């Protein structure tokens, strides 16, 4: 496996050492497993400790500027794997901090060693780098940035007797995703990514891990003549527990109000504060035509 650079270069932080040439990560001399994309993410952050590394920069590093892919979920998964191997937490980070909607920052003190035998000048350089990292970490902590809550809306089950109503369940799933995406403090997974789990029998924690999220929305919908019945529940997956659930049995004309209410109730259950702009966005109706 080819790694960046041809020289022996080791970066130390806390109890860890990462060899940027070989990709070998060790903790107190014990080797840890780190796959290629998580390694590339960690290497990029360690090359600029205390600085913002944008999601765009990570995309170009991992996939190249000429490659067009749905990279969001893959990047989130790679960052999650980095945190797992470091024993880090997104909510209380010691190493990798998320800068919402922008990127990531490595906030722990870092010492760069090149070559393995450290000369006096390189020690001075390492101390300078360490000082920069500490100042950067203090700046990021004092900025009061918070981790966005990650969430995926699983395809709603169609409980209607008519299988042709499947499109209605899929459309309502997409509508709920769109509503939740209006909340800035939520990171909502795209419809394209969640549809692969339609009618899946896999355990919810496994689905959440694959999608790189902390919470899932699941439920069911049935449409009979002029009434709609929807059941929605919000589930945290680590550990698995219900955060909120509610049934709706209303006229079909209330469909837009239900979508708005579901988004607001989820925000409330996650203890998110909505700005006035977000409240206005949630109150907007895409059309007055229910049939459309």
Whether 3 maps to a domain, the answer reads no
Going by pLDDT thresholds of 50, 70 and 90, the confidence category of residue 160 is: confident
User: What is the per-residue pLDDT across 32-49, written as a single tens digit (0 to 9) for each?
Assistant: 888 888 999 999 999 899
Res 147 pLDDT > 60: no
Going by pLDDT thresholds of 50, 70 and 90, the confidence category of residue 100 is: confident
- Which CATH number do you get for residue 124? 1.10.10.10
Res 3 pLDDT > 60: no
Whether 53 maps to a domain, the answer reads yes
Averaged pLDDT, 170-191: 86
Q: Which residue has the higher pLDDT, 119 or 171?
A: 171
Averaged pLDDT, 272-292: 66
pTM of the model: 0.49
What is the residue range of 198's domain? Answer: 149-283
Going by pLDDT thresholds of 50, 70 and 90, the confidence category of residue 180 is: confident
Averaged pLDDT, 240-249: 88
Residue 191: per-residue pLDDT: 85
Averaged pLDDT, 152-175: 85
pLDDT averaged over the chain?
79
Whether 288 maps to a domain, the answer reads no
User: What is the per-residue pLDDT across 64-74, written as a single tens digit (0 to 9) for each?
Assistant: 765 555 677 78
Per the structure, the count of domains in the chain is: 2
Pair 170, 58 in one domain? no
Across the strands, what pairs with 235?
216, 242
* 121, 142, 163 - which closes a domain: 142
Averaged pLDDT, 134-150: 52
Averaged pLDDT, 96-110: 91
Averaged pLDDT, 197-203: 87
Across the strands, what pairs with 99?
103
- Could you give the C-alpha distances from 80 to 34, 74, 270, in angstroms and in order? 12, 10, 20
Whether 2 maps to a domain, the answer reads no
Pair 129, 239 in one domain? no
Across the strands, what pairs with 234?
217, 244
Res 134 pLDDT > 80: no
Q: Which residue has the higher pLDDT, 282 or 54?
A: 54
Number of C-beta neighbours around residue 267 at 10 A: 20
User: For a pLDDT cut of 70, what percent of the chain falls above it?
Assistant: 79
- Which CATH number do you get for residue 187? 3.40.50.10070
Going by pLDDT thresholds of 50, 70 and 90, the confidence category of residue 155 is: very high
Res 186 pLDDT > 50: yes
Pair 41, 132 in one domain? yes
* 126, 142, 158 - which closes a domain: 142
Cβ neighbours of residue 83 closer than 8 Å, sequence gap 6 or more: 89, 90, 93, 95, 96
Residue 104: per-residue pLDDT: 94
Pair 181, 273 in one domain? yes
With H, G, I as helix, E, B as strand and everything else as coil, classify residue 83: helix
Residue 73: per-residue pLDDT: 78
Whether 228 maps to a domain, the answer reads yes
Task: Return the exposure string of 117-133: e unless at least 16 CB atoms fall within 10 Å of the residue's CB, then b.
Answer: eeeeeeeebbeebbebb
- Could you give the C-alpha distances from 242 to 91, 130, 159, 233, 269, in angstroms and in order? 19, 43, 22, 7, 10
* 118, 142, 166 - which closes a domain: 142
User: What is the per-residue pLDDT across 210-228, written as a single tens digit (0 to 9) for each?
Assistant: 888 889 999 999 888 788 8
């Amino acid at each position: 496996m080819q790694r960046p650079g041809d020289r022996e270069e080791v970066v130390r932080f806390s109890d860890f050492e990462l060899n940027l040439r070989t990709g070998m990560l060790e903790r107190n001399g014990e080797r840890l497993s780190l796959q290629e994309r998580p390694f590339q993410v960690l290497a990029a952050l360690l090359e600029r400790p205390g600085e913002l590394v944008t999601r765009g920069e990570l995309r170009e590093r991992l996939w190249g500027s000429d490659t067009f892919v749905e990279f969001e979920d893959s990047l989130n998964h790679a960052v999650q794997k980095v945190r797992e191997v470091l024993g880090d937490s997104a909510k209380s980070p010691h190493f990798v901090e998320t800068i919402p909607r922008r990127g990531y920052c490595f906030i722990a003190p870092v010492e760069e060693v090149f070559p393995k035998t450290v000369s006096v000048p390189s020690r001075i350089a390492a101390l300078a780098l360490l000082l920069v990292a500490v100042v950067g970490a203090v700046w990021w902590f004092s900025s009061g940035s918070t981790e966005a809550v990650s969430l995926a809306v699983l395809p709603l089950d169609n409980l209607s007797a008519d299988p042709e109503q499947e499109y209605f369940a899929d459309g309502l799933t997409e509508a709920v995703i769109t509503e939740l995406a209006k909340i800035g403090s939520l990171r909502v997974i795209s419809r394209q990514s969640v549809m692969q789990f339609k009618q899946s029998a896999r355990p919810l924690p496994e689905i959440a891990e694959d999608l790189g999220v902390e919470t899932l929305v699941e439920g069911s919908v049935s449409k009979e003549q002029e009434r709609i019945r929807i059941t929605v529940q919000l589930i945290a997956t680590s550990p698995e527990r219900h955060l909120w659930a509610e049934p709706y049995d209303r006229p079909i004309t209330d469909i837009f109000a239900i979508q708005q209410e579901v988004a607001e109730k989820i925000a409330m259950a996650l203890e998110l504060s909505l700005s006035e702009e977000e409240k206005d966005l949630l109150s907007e109706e895409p059309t007055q035509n229910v049939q459309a």
